[in-house]
């Protein structure tokens, strides 16, 4: 199955043909995986999830990592780990 011709260049690069039958998403998110935490704190801007903080030691514990989610309108554009 070929990808539609009208799909945007940016979107097209996220997929590759597999066995000429199915378009498969190839985004690698393994670097976003957090291994040590026992509490997750979610932050919102309006209805959009904008931050995810991974803590060790409960709600008041040490922040091990933060994911920052960026949007254009209601569409999620990127996720950055810090």
Per-residue pLDDT tens for 20-40? 555 555 667 778 888 899 999
Tell me the mean pLDDT in the region 6-23: 54
pLDDT band per the 50, 70, 90 thresholds, residue 1: very low
67 CB neighbour count, 10 Å cutoff: 19
Q: How far apart are CA 57 and CA 34, in angstroms?
A: 15
Least confident of 29-38, 39-48, 68-77: 29-38
69-74 contact pairs (CB < 8 A, 24+):
74/47, 74/48
Higher pLDDT, 71 or 22: 71
């Amino acid at each position: 199955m070929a990808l539609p011709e009208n799909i945007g260049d940016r979107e097209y690069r996220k997929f590759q043909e597999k066995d000429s039958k199915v378009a498969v998403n190839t985004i690698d998110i393994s670097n976003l995986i957090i291994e040590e935490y026992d509490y997750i704190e979610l932050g919102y801007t309006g209805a959009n999830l904008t931050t995810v903080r991974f803590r060790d030691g409960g709600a008041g514990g040490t922040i091990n990592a933060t994911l920052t989610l960026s949007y254009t309108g209601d569409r999620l554009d990127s996720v950055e780990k810090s």
